[in-house]
Structure formats: structure tokens, C-alpha cells
Structure 1
Amino acid sequence: MNERERILAGELQKWVSVRKIFPCGTLESKRGAKGIVFYFRAYVGGKTNRFAVGSFDEQLPRNAIAPSRKGYSIEGAARAAAAMADKHQEYLEKGGYAAYLKEVSIEKEAIRIAEQLETERFKINGGTLNGLMDAYIDYLTANGRASAQSVCMAIRKHIIDAHPELIAKFAKDISSDDIANIIRPIHLDGKGRTANKIRSYLHAAFQIALEAKYNPSLPQQLIAFELTINPVSIVGQNSDANRADKNPLDGGEMKQYWQLLNHVAHPRKQAALKLHLLLGAPRIIQLVRLNHKDVREEYLILQDLKGKSRAPRPYYLPITDLIREQLDILQGDSDQWVLSTDEVNHLEPTTLSHWAKFAVGDEIENFTLKRTRSGVETLLASLKISGEIRGYLQSHGIGGVQDKHYNAYDFLDEKRDALLKLERFLTA
């Protein structure tokens, strides 16, 4: 009889040898009350071990490899048994295929426990303020918001690390008093602008979770927070901290700052600070993210991170001869970032501010690097540069339908003229 005939002729609960399996063992079959089942038989230490392969599907072609919903063909069962034989040989010193199954079982159990712990963690944190802030950061990241990393760092510092008792509280139970207790210490520490930012992040996190049930564009899992109000809404902002800087460097201080930069001993620090000023004092966070690939022959491209757009908005600044000199000095430390202290990471905004503060010392009263930004705008106004061009140069005050879609190249000549006037004033 051939293999099929032997299998079908097998008596109830009797073993039938089907074929030898390489590299070891035998494919067998046994008829039971529910049909015929294939087994892989092998030996360990002189003892017989059998392992179920699967049911026999009589309707499959003899050489079909893939099993059906009912079971295997003869050839398919032999292939499956051969895979089992390979594992049996591999684990022979540990106990053969049985040892392999035990190891797999342990791994599956470990995965099950890990998944259970993750489920429990979600149950514990998923509805908490901690969980809400994590979900908010995930939302920013998933939507490609360039600010996601800085928001994450601020939330961790001023909310998660600073208020462990509050972050364990369910988000739906967070009160306006709780929000005020998070923000007040930041304000009392003299960091009004930071306090406003933290309030803004909290308000946004609660708001998207509040709207998720009725806004299909928001992540569905946010509905699980079961929010009915936004407790941040009635907590006031520090309006003074949001006002524009009213203390710009005057013309004399701008010249003095430039002269002080000439005495910075470290050439790369000097070049970085000069580049910032010569470009019209762009926002520091934008400058430190300047990538080598965005430095072209006649212009460079900065990424404006402000606003509600999901992606940063590029804006273009011309490269003058003096700006090119600074860029040439800054070549070399990183393949990616123009401003870098190592080969991987861009310079931190606070680092550039500290360099400027150290360069100035006590020479300019109450000096901060951000005062150069308002100082540049004031100086350019005195040099008869229009408010429109100043706005495009510093990437602020852009509004209206035409301005939202303006071609940045259209203003390169005007920006170049403004920066050259700035250079002539500083170096005169």
C-alpha cells in the first residue's frame, strides 16, 4: 500500500508509520474519534516522544504544502514534521523538541505578562493627568509638529517631575485649582512666559480630549479620558509676560555688542554669535536648527516653528559676504547642523544665550540675547527699512491671504538691502 492507503486503512487508536523525516524522526498518523491526526515521532535518551502536527485533510491534493482549515495533506504534514525535526536536533542536548516547546511557552508567557503589565499600566495611567500629557505629546508627534520635543521637555520638567501627586490623579478629576497650583510656582519663580506656555500646553491637552468624542480627526482613544470640562479655561494668563519686548538695545548698545563679539576668543563661538546678529537676530530656536543642506549659494533657509501649522514654515534669508565668512568658520563639527558642539546634536538655544551673556559681561546693563532681536528691528526702522520688510526679515507680522502664500524669493533683494544696512551700521 502507498502512504495514503496506509493512513486511511489505519485502525482506531493505532499508530501508522507514514515516512521517515530528515534529519531525524518519523511522520506517523493515528485515527481518532474526530478523524486522523499526523504526529512527529522522535527519540530522546532512548525514549519515544510524539508531537501533534495537525489533522489529515483527505480532500487536499497529496503534494499541497499549505494546510487548509481542516488540516494537512501528506506532503504538507511531512514538511511541518521536518521543521519540527530541525528544532529537535537543535535542542537535542537540552531535551529535543519538548525543550524547544518549553522555551517557546516561556517566551509566550513572558510576552503575555508584558502585555498584561502594559494593559495594567494603561488602566493606571491611561485616565490620569500623566496619561493625558503623554497622549498630547503623542498627538503632536503623530501630526509632525516640530515643537513636540520641546513641549515634551517642558511638560516633564514643570508638570510630571514637579507634581507627582497630581499626575497620578484622573484627568477628569483635575480641577482649576490643581491647574493653578501647577502654574503658580513657575510664575512666582519669575518665569512668566514659561508659565503661560505650560498653561497653553495643559489647555490644548484637555481641549483635544474634550473634543475627541465629536471630532473624527482626533485620536479615538482620547475619548477614554471622559472629560466634560476644560479646567484650564478659567485659569488666567500672565498678560505682561506675553507682551513684546519693550527694552530693545539702542543703536549705541548694538554697536557696543558687535565690538564685544570681536573680542570673543573662541572663533566658532564668535562666528555663531555674529551669524545670529548679521542675519537680523532670528529666533534662536530657528537658528540653532539650521541644517547644512539648507545653506545655499545666495541664501539660507530657516524653519519658522511658530503658528498653528503642523509643519514648520520655511523662510529665506540672503547670504552676504560677511555672513558667508561666519558660515565658513562654522563648517566641520557636524555633517548636519551648522551650529553644533559635537557631531550629532545641534546647539541648544540656552547655550547660545549663555555665550552671548558671557561675551557681554557687565558691559551692557540687563543684557539678554533676545534684546538684540528687538534692537535689530528698532535699528532697521531708524534706517528707513519698511515695517513690511522688517516683518519678512524676522518672520513675524505676516498676515492676510497674500502674505500667507507669499513667495519668499520675492523679498530676497529687499532683505539683502536691509542686512547690508545693518552691517554697515555695526561695522562703521
Structure 2
Amino acid sequence: MAQKLVHSKILALKTTLSEALEGKGAGSILFERRAKGVLVYLSLRREGKQERLKLGNYVDKTLVEWRAYAAATSLEARRFPSIEHYLTAEKERARASQRLADIEARQGTLAQMLDAYVDDMERRGKSSAKSVRGALKLDVLTPFPELSKRKAKEIEPSDVAQILRNCLTRSVAHKGRGVRLTKATANNGKKRQADKLRSYLQAAFAFGLANDLNPLRSGDSVEYGLKTNPARDVPTIEGANRANTWALTKDELKSIVLAVERLPDRRRAIAKAMLYLAGQRVEMLCRVTWPDFYNDGEHSDVLRLLDLKGGRGTPPREHLLPITNRLAEILSPLLALKDLGRAPGPFYLRGTVCIAPGTALDIFTVLGDQLSEQGLTRRFTWRTLRATIETHLAALGVNQERRAWLLSHGRSGVQAKHYDRWNYLPEKRADLDRWARYLDELAGNPSADNVVTGIFAKTA
């Protein structure tokens, strides 16, 4: 058996020392004194020729570690015809490993992907971008910080399911009222919110999948390495869409109209505009500026709203509403701001601060709490009122097609989407007049009870 070297002997060597590695043809480990210290080599004899491969400086490892390292390197190097071939293969493997490391370093986290998804929504002018960002922060980024730091490609369907369970069971997070844990029901909106969150996550992962394949993406930008969409396999939340299958009765709507009259001046003006404009989307109203009011020369005064709903690349759609005589009266406190020159549009609080969609929605959320506590209505929100308004319009004889024109519902079919460019302002004027008379009668004319007899009888 060949004699084993010892640490002290290697440190004291003047020229070179070697020790045979175990195994036939394994070669030997060679120690050589140089100016920088003792260097370590693997020595192999290949086809009658002695070859050496530098392994490193002796002080970097222990003697036992050098023996193991030299033996492993020898085993690998003997797979190639020569040390040169081995080194070439090692360089290529190092380059491939570096490429993988670079790709891995560029692959974004779940948090990065969600932020990029919402940023993309904002670039495309999507009106829901702000609410989507808030929902993702509330239900994903804040409660799951560790999960958010994981690579997006590492997220599993089970992780998405966990996020949705938390959304269903977390404390209510609205105006500080989250002091109790509420059971998820269709009425309190938690099932609906969880299902919306599921759709946001599914869309975000779809964005991540498309991002990597986008030829317009910069080559050194963040990639996500996604192969599948983990949110796609998570089922929809059963019962999530039940919340808006009901509408307020005529008596309940009357209580709301009367309660609006008791609101402070600015909020009363904004709330009445929301009601008399037949329940338009609040986001559209909050975007209105003075140039959006104009006389079109044919239909007199018109209000232009921009509908930003639609798929990727869908341009904003103009939604025109005629300003009837009654609407002009209702809007007069808001339109007076123009003469004051302090606000760029009508839906401003104190005449200077644009009302946020959430603030406008809260006017009716608070009313819903107050009136339900008084036993005058069931608990409602503006979402409930939009369903109520459309239901009452139907009862007044406004058919489905005309309600779609009036409320800017999405158009389907080739003819409606691409060829029908009529604005339906005469029809909208007639329906807004009919709706204003209905609200006015509810507010102060007892004969209003005779309108649409029996259709909205108060339920038990």
C-alpha cells in the first residue's frame, strides 16, 4: 500500500510530493511548492502522456478534503480523451450554469408579477386598476409576505386556495369595523370578493405567462418562468354571485329618495345626481370634466361619459346622456362649480376636491346601514341600488335593449359592436324623463303608489 502523506510533511516540502489515488488509473494528487504557497494538482497518465490539472491552493481545504476532491475530479476527467477536452466541457457547463443562474435571477416573485399586472392595467387605462391593486394588497401581499417573496413559478393551486380561504374568513376590513370575524355569506359580500380575487389572480398569472413570450419585451427584463396558471384550476366560489339577485322594493326606494334629501348639501347633490342619472357607474361619473358637457347641435345639451370597460386594447367607448330639463335642475348645484372656477368637473366635494369613487359609493353604504337599522329598508349598497334601478326601469316598461343603451351595458354581436353607431339619445331622453317622474312621485306625490301597481309590493 502506498504511503499516505501527512499535513506537516506537505507544509515542510521544498519541491514536490505526490500521493497515489485509490483505484486503477485514478492517477495521483500532487503537491508543489511555489512562491504563493503549496499548489495542488491532479496528475493523470493518458495514452503514455503525463497530464496535470491544477486544483487550487492547499490552504483552501484540509488534506482529507483534497483527497476526496481530487478523486472526484479524476473520475470525471477520465470520461474525456484528455485534460484539455475535460476543461473545454467544464467551461461549457459553467457557461450553461451561469445562463440558468441569470434566468433564475431575472425570474420575478409573486409580488413583482402582481405589481406588473396592475401597472399594465393602468397603462391601458383600465378603470378597475386601483381597486384591483387594493384587493391584491389587502388579501395577498399583506397577509402572505413570505408567499409574496416566492418565485411566481413556484406558486401552486393550493397556495391560491389558501389565499382565497383567508379572504373568506378574515376580519371585515372597512372603516375600522373589522372588530369581529364574520362568516362568509353572499349578503356580506365576502364570497363575491373572494371570487373576484380568484379572477384577479387568474388574470395576473395569464399576464405573467404572456409576458415571457412577448416579443416586445426587453431581453433583460423580468421573466416569470411560468408553465401553467395555478389560479385556473381553483374553482369559482359557490354562491358568490347571489348578492345582486334581489332588488329593493318601491317602499324601500322611496325611503332612500327621502333620506337623500336630508344629506348635507354637497353629498345630497352628488347622491341625487347618481339616482336621477339612472345608476350610471360611479367611476364614469368621477371622470367627468367640464368639456364633457356640450350642446351637440341636434339633441341639445349632452353629457359624455367614458366607458373604459373592455378587453386588452379596447378603446374607451363614449356613452352619451341627454341633459333633460329635470336633470338640469338636479345637476345645477354641481354645474355651479364651473362659474366658481375652482374645480375641473362637477363631482367635487367642497368645490375643490374630486370625489373618489369609493367616497361616492360610501354615501349609499352609510345610508344602507342607517335605514336598515331603522327598519325602513334591507341593508343595501350602491351595487344593490344599480340592480334596483334597472329592475324598476323594467317595471316602468323600459325594455332590456333600451336599458342596455341607457346604462352602457356591454354590446354583443357583430352588428351591435361594429356597425351600430347610433347614440340613441332620443330613447335615452324619454327613459330618463320617465325615471325622473317616477323618483319625483316617490319623493312627494302620494299618487306615486299607483305607478307600476303591484309589481314592487313590499316583501315580508
TM-score normalised according to structure 1 size: 0.65
Is 1:156 matched up with 2:137? yes
The residue identity in structure 2 corresponding to 1:272 is I
Pick from 264, 275, 278: which aligns with 1:277? 275
> Distance in 1 between the 2:347 and 2:194 partners?
29
Residues 279, 207 of structure 1: alpha-carbon distance in 2 compared, 3 angstrom cutoff: same
**Which runs of 5 or more structure 1 residues have no equivalent in the other structure?**
1-121
Residue aligning to 2:395: 382
Is 1:368 matched up with 2:358? no
Residues 315, 358 of structure 1: alpha-carbon distance in 2 compared, 3 angstrom cutoff: same
Residues 370, 209 of structure 1: alpha-carbon distance in 2 compared, 3 angstrom cutoff: closer
Residue aligning to 2:357: 349
User: % of aligned pairs identical?
Assistant: 33
Tell me the CA shift for residue 125 of structure 1: 8.3
Residue aligning to 1:302: 305
Tell me the CA shift for residue 365 of structure 1: 1.9
Residues 408, 344 of structure 1: alpha-carbon distance in 2 compared, 3 angstrom cutoff: farther
CA-based RMSD? 2.8
Residue aligning to 1:135: 116
Residues 368, 145 of structure 1: alpha-carbon distance in 2 compared, 3 angstrom cutoff: closer
Residues 244, 365 of structure 1: alpha-carbon distance in 2 compared, 3 angstrom cutoff: closer
The residue identity in structure 2 corresponding to 1:209 is G
Tell me the CA shift for residue 162 of structure 1: 2.2
The residue identity in structure 2 corresponding to 1:236 is P
> Distance in 1 between the 2:420 and 2:266 partners?
33
Tell me the CA shift for residue 408 of structure 1: 6.2
Residue aligning to 1:291: 289
Residue aligning to 1:401: 414
Q: Secondary structure at the match of 2:379?
A: coil
Q: Secondary structure at the match of 2:326?
A: helix
Tell me the CA shift for residue 309 of structure 1: 4.8
Residues 275, 309 of structure 1: alpha-carbon distance in 2 compared, 3 angstrom cutoff: farther
The residue identity in structure 2 corresponding to 1:349 is P
> Distance in 2 between the 1:219 and 1:383 partners?
56
> Distance in 1 between the 2:237 and 2:131 partners?
21
Tell me the CA shift for residue 166 of structure 1: 0.7
2:279/2:407 contact within 8 Å kept? yes
1:316/1:408 contact within 8 Å kept? no
Tell me the CA shift for residue 263 of structure 1: 2.3
Residue aligning to 1:48: none
Residue aligning to 2:319: 315
Is 1:326 matched up with 2:330? yes
Residues 219, 209 of structure 1: alpha-carbon distance in 2 compared, 3 angstrom cutoff: farther
Question: Which structure 2 residues correspond to residues 87-102 of structure 1 after superposition, within 5 A?
Answer: none
Residue aligning to 2:151: 170
The residue identity in structure 2 corresponding to 1:159 is V
Tell me the CA shift for residue 208 of structure 1: 2.4
The residue identity in structure 2 corresponding to 1:300 is L
Equivalenced residue count is 307
Pick which of 249-258 and 220-229 moved more: 220-229
> Distance in 2 between the 1:326 and 1:123 partners?
60
Question: Which structure 2 residues correspond to residues 247-258 of structure 1 after superposition, within 5 A?
Answer: 247-258=246-257
Question: Which one has more relative contact order, counting CA pairs under 8 Å at least 6 apart?
Answer: 2
> Distance in 1 between the 2:419 and 2:238 partners?
31
Residues 185, 394 of structure 1: alpha-carbon distance in 2 compared, 3 angstrom cutoff: same
> Distance in 1 between the 2:147 and 2:226 partners?
16
**Which runs of 5 or more structure 2 residues have no equivalent in the other structure?**
1-102, 171-183, 185-189, 296-300, 442-460
2:209/2:226 contact within 8 Å kept? yes
Residues 335, 214 of structure 1: alpha-carbon distance in 2 compared, 3 angstrom cutoff: same
> Distance in 1 between the 2:105 and 2:131 partners?
26
Residue aligning to 1:340: 348
> Distance in 2 between the 1:394 and 1:133 partners?
31
Tell me the CA shift for residue 307 of structure 1: 2.6
Residues 144, 355 of structure 1: alpha-carbon distance in 2 compared, 3 angstrom cutoff: closer
- Provide Cα deviations, 1:129-179, integer angstroms capped at 9, x if missing partner: 111112212322333434333322322222222211111111111111111
Tell me the CA shift for residue 407 of structure 1: 5.7
1:126/1:132 contact within 8 Å kept? no
> Distance in 2 between the 1:219 and 1:273 partners?
47
Pick which of 164-173 and 336-345 moved more: 336-345
Pick which of 336-345 and 223-232 moved more: 336-345
